[in-house]
A and B are shown apart, each in its own frame.
Chain A
Amino acid sequence: MKGRRAATTLGLRYAGAIAVTIVFLFPIYWLFIISFKTPDEIFAFPPVWWPANIQFANYAVLFKDGDVVAVWNSLVIAGSSTVLAMFFGTLAAYSLVRFRTGGDDLAIWIISQRMIPPIVIVFPIFLLYVWLGGVDTYWGLVLLYTAFNLPYVIWMMRGYIADIPIELEESALVDGCSRWQVLMGVVFPMARAGLFATAVFTFVFAWNDFIFALVLTRTEVVTYPVQVTHYFGGQSNFWAKIAAMSVLGTVPVFIAVAMLQRYLVRGISMGAVKG
């Protein structure tokens, strides 16, 4: 009796799981499928649920016109800022955890930086960048995203570093390693899982940002979300380009998620608990 009931519940749970997944993935399906349609099919009524021929013309246009450089810009900017934020953030987190540098006050000041709405600081940063020559440059956005992600990295890595047994570091010190060698040889490798999980989110934040990039780019380092909005028009939207550019910008994130999927739940929940 009990076995049959369990089987029925399992069946119901599968039905629920599949239904929910279809609902949540349908918009993504629609975005992808639009990017492979011909203009006739995009503007067809009633809508075309599956194109007659999968064609890559919409992507070819983006490559031919050089629009894909926006994806490259995003890659350079999000990639560099992630490396910098992870490096300096982990160092700072180590100092906060092992030496209690600055006590609780410093830690709280750091996380409070993350609560400031972007719209509040984007204008003064714009003026600062006009003065420093940082508008429409790689380093301008890299510096900004590094700063924006540092509080998140520091708070996440605090948790992961606190989990490392201190004895390992002490024995390395006794063996004659410098503090620096302990960091590189013991702390970073031990916190590897945490580093990956944090890095994914740091990358995704920088990759997906719109408002900073909207204000601080012009033509040279336009990132892909800003490029997508360039195709918005009053009456005629270039839906083929919007869809294709969106897909180009979304696929790298999906690949990152797929590769690091086992760290994600811990990454998100720790981010929530600690930061």
Chain B
Amino acid sequence: MTLQLAAGRRRASASGPFLDRNFKYVIVAPAILVLLLVGLFPLIYSLVVSFQGVTMMEADTSFQGLKNYAALFDDLRLWQSLAHTLILTAVALPIELVLGLLLAHLFLEKMPGRAIFIALLTLPTMISPIVSGATWRLLFDHHFGPVNQIIAWFAGHQVPIIWLLNPNTVYPAILVCEIWQWTPFMFLILLAALSNVDKSLLEAAELDGAAYRTVFRRIVLPAIWPVMSVALLIRGLDLFRIFDIIWALTRGGPGTMTETISVYTYLQGFEQFEISYAAAIAFLVIFLLTAVVMILLKRTGIAR
């Protein structure tokens, strides 16, 4: 056994010089290659296509200048889908943050069974968003779903709300699904952040008779801000590309009422086969995202 090991070692060092000298590059290379092939290459390719006129009918690869980009400005449905995306993000993000904070406070102190509660609460986040959407479609069904039934108990009479087809209720339904799925994610991150806040500072403030509101604003919030801001950034970016939940719940309907930017891009590319135009939309999205992230990184100092 020892002998084998020694032999193995000798062989390793015999083939060693090249590997040892370039070791750091050899081990980083596969990851970089994969990222270039599946990440960067399609991005560049897509940029090229966005300046062409490729549709299902014709593979017109001649240079079209900014034609596709100019068309973006006249596309009302595009700007509506952008508005839908922003509305969903602007409403869901603060609610997830506040609910996550409340939950984190509820489970902050040790209590028997705490780990089990936390594990159970992570489950919604672990489910595929497409399954979450399907599940809430079951729950919101106006006939055999339990949501209307629960409302009926409180209202005292049957309520025939057709959640996903009614313009007034379709957004609340999507938001409920989204918030249900991702609040636990927010909760876990904030729980970890709150657990790391220096306890002695909190106790000192409590002895001074400070109200929790003040303690939170002066001590807790600054302490958890680095983690919280990153959590908000991650969720914000995720919400901006929301697709699966919408696809399962409404497919952008009724009409185009709940079309988000991702849903609209998908429909343009894969159902209308306006390939170059879809690529142009994609770069509008990248441009907007980059601008927002840059501003946020500067403002909040996340980048350190």
- A-side residues, CB < 8 A to B, are 10, 13-14, 16-17, 20-21, 24-25, 27-28, 30-31, 34, 42-47, 49, 88-89, 91-92, 94-96, 98-99, 101-102, 106, 110, 113, 115-121, 123-125, 127-128, 143-144, 146-148, 150-151, 154, 176-181, 183, 204, 207-211, 215, 224-226, 228-229, 232, 237, 239, 242-243, 246, 249-250, 253-254, 257-258, 261-262, 264-266, 268-269, 272-273
- B-side residues, CB < 8 A to A, are 9, 12-13, 16, 19-20, 23-25, 27-28, 30-32, 34-35, 37-43, 45-46, 49, 103, 106-107, 109, 111, 115, 117-124, 126-132, 134-139, 143-146, 149, 180, 183-185, 188-189, 191-193, 226-227, 230-231, 234, 237, 240-241, 243-244, 247-248, 261-262, 265-266, 269-270, 275, 278-279, 282-283, 285-286, 289, 293
Q: Please determine whether A179 and B131 come into contact, CB atoms closer than 8 angstroms.
A: no
Instruction: A125-B42, A147-B37, A272-B234 are known; give 5 further A-B pairs, CB within 8 A.
Output: A123-B279, A124-B41, A128-B45, A176-B13, A257-B126
Residue in contact with B138 in the complex, picked from A30, A99, A208, CB distance below 8 Å: A30
Shortest C-beta distance, B9 to chain A (Å), equals: 6
Shortest Cβ distance from B32 into A: residue: A92
- Check A102/B28 contact, CB under 8 A, given A117-B240, A249-B128: yes
- Check A124/B43 contact, CB under 8 A, given A91-B31, A150-B31, A211-B243: yes
Give CA–CA (A148, B37) in the complex, Å.
Answer: 11
Q: Please determine whether B123 and A246 come into contact, CB atoms closer than 8 angstroms.
A: no
Give CA–CA (A147, B137) in the complex, Å.
Answer: 32
Shortest Cβ distance from B103 into A: residue: A20
Give CA–CA (A148, B34) in the complex, Å.
Answer: 9
Q: Please determine whether A228 and B38 come into contact, CB atoms closer than 8 angstroms.
A: no
User: What are the residues of chain A within 8 A of B132 when measuring CB–CB?
Assistant: 27
User: What are the residues of chain A within 8 A of B146 when measuring CB–CB?
Assistant: 30, 47, 49
- Check A119/B282 contact, CB under 8 A, given A144-B38, A211-B266, A246-B135: yes
Q: Please determine whether B227 and A91 come into contact, CB atoms closer than 8 angstroms.
A: no
Give CA–CA (A47, B112) in the complex, Å.
Answer: 35
Provide a sorted-by-A list of 21 A–B residue pairs whose CB atoms are within 8 angstroms.
A20-B106, A27-B124, A31-B134, A96-B28, A115-B289, A118-B243, A119-B241, A119-B266, A123-B46, A123-B269, A124-B279, A127-B45, A147-B34, A147-B38, A151-B35, A178-B13, A210-B247, A229-B134, A249-B131, A250-B128, A272-B227
- Check A27/B119 contact, CB under 8 A, given A117-B262, A210-B129: no
User: What are the residues of chain A within 8 A of B34 when measuring CB–CB?
Assistant: 88, 143, 146-147, 150
Q: Please determine whether B278 and A123 come into contact, CB atoms closer than 8 angstroms.
A: yes
